[in-house]
Amino acid sequence: MKIFSGIQPSGEIHLGNYLAVIKQWLDLQSKNDCIFCIVDWHAITVPYDPKILQQKIKEVAAIYLTAGLSPKKNIIFTQSAVKEHTELAWLLNTITPIGDLQRMTQFKEKSAKHIKNVCAGLLNYPVLMAADILLYQTEVVPVGQDQKQHVELAREIARRFNARFGDTFTLPQARIMKIGAKIMSLTEPTKKMSKSDKPETCIGLFDTPEQIKKKIASATTDSGQEIKYNPNEKPGISNLLTIHSLLSNKTIKDLENEFTGQNYQTFKQKLAELLIENLEPFRNKKSEFEKNPAIIDKILANGASRAEKIAQETMEKVRLAMGL
């Protein structure tokens, strides 16, 4: 199957990105044609610092590689290195009703958060995302829960294009994990863990053991002491159980049994140990890549030239279909 997905080089890549998305990519890479993108043009739709953007892009690339994504088997590249993404986004803008964009949940949330800086790019963000996906005739888009609506819109744009200009695009579908599609904030477990929130809400993949211990120890838990999964009544412990289950590959039922009669504190200590062990490769490899940034530049340049070939083929079809 053809797979495409991406992460924005903004903020710090966190446990939610890793558990809900990068882990899916790792499962998919051996049997599929996968493209993993660093979507820098999406990251600039909210205020950002141009001085550190390149460093952020390299950091995301280092995370992809450290997690175990193969740059030979998969195409790994930066969105802005393939200009066809903007060309297709413009063309798709002409068949996308403004109303569809205004009703997107993420647009509503982000425009409320950056109330003084709502640019047209923020509204058109899902059209650029549709272009990312459709350029590569993608069948499956592995993402977290919050991106499902955008993938559905991309499918609708593809369907509309095909109906108007003839069969051109494959209709994509989102792939979302059954558990862990939405990892919650450590301090407010009814809100999703987010890059743009305060550090104590979120575990970063490069966090030190001390930071991990402190953040998990102070994570919000619920009244009572029972280690039971119940997202409505016990959102805090349910989120921590989900994280444990994804890292340890044990079912939530098994974990509930294992921790019967134990208190939150013991469970949190065990979870912190598990996190420290699982994130160790990220901390170690980061400095390796920092010492030799040329490795990453080479991988991204190679990825961009492979991506560009596919993108150019699609654009020829699109221009022909649209009479351009």
Give residue 261's identity as a one-letter amino acid code.
Answer: G
194 annotated binding-site participant: yes
HEC sequence for 112-136 = HHCCCCCCHHHHHHHHHHHHHHHHC
Please state the closest distance from residue 39 (CB atom) to ligand AMP, in A: 7
36 contact choice in ligand AMP, ligand TRP, none (CB below 5 to 8 Å, kind-dependent): none
Window 11-40: residues binding ligand AMP (CB under 6 A): 16-17, 20-21
Helix (H) / strand (E) element for 245: namely helix 235-248
d(CA 97, CA 106): 17
173 annotated binding-site participant: no
203 within 8 A of 12, measured Cβ to Cβ: no
d(CA 297, CA 201): 32
- Contact positions vs ligand TRP (CB under 6 A): 4-6, 8, 39, 42, 129, 132-133, 141, 143, 147, 150
Tell me if residue 192 is catalytic.
yes
Give me the phi and psi of 53, to 5 degrees please. -60, -45
How many H helices and E strands in the chain?
14, 5
Binder of ligand AMP out of 71, 126, 144, 172 (CB under 6 A): 144
Please state the closest distance from residue 165 (CB atom) to ligand TRP, in A: 22
Q: Can you read off the two tokens belonging to residue 183?
A: 């990892």
17 contact choice in ligand TRP, ligand AMP, none (CB below 5 to 8 Å, kind-dependent): ligand AMP
146 binds ligand AMP (CB under 6 A): yes
Window 147-186: residues binding ligand AMP (CB under 6 A): 147, 181-183
21 within 8 A of 143, measured Cβ to Cβ: yes
Q: Which residues bind ligand AMP (CB under 6 A)?
A: 7-8, 16-17, 20-21, 143-144, 146-147, 181-183, 192-193, 195
Known catalytic residues are 110, 192, 195
**Residues making up the binding site:** 8-10, 16-17, 132, 144-146, 183, 192-196
